[in-house]
Amino acid sequence: MSIKFIIADDAPFVRELLKSAFQSFGCVCVGEAEDGLEAIELYRMTLPDLVILDLVMPLKNGIEAVREMKEISDKPIIIACTSLDHEPLLQKSLDEGCQAFIVKPFTKNDLENVMKNFFPQTKEATR
């Protein structure tokens, strides 16, 4: 069974890096969002297994998006993604329902560790 995921980040190059990495672990991208409102709607439509969510986005930030996503379904794993200078946001994201976070700039190994923690059945990345 493939793990379905969505990515919400306002930077297209970050979305592409994340998508490529998670696909290399055998996951299937079912959508991308560039702002918080779009992320919530995409979440509602796809009910993915995994969400990678930037915390600083236009229209609705990641914290607001997590709150609304958790009202829809609390089954998917939601991973916050932001830069280290937003450390208070990272803690708030965990308080609001994110299960973990990834700090930008991230490495493929960082992403692989997240997958191993939450989805141990996923394949190793091809290097």
Residue 84 DSSP label: G
Q: What is the pLDDT of residues 47-90, one digit of tens each?
A: 999 999 999 899 999 899 999 999 999 888 999 988 766 677 78
pLDDT at position 28 is 96
CATH code, residues 4-118: 3.40.50.2300
In the three-class reduction of DSSP (H, G, I as helix; E, B as strand; rest coil), residue 37 is classed as: helix
pLDDT digits (tens, 9 = 90+) for 5-22: 999 999 999 999 999 999
Minimal CA–CA distance to 1: which of 63, 51, 56, 49? Answer: 49
At residue 1, the pLDDT reads 59
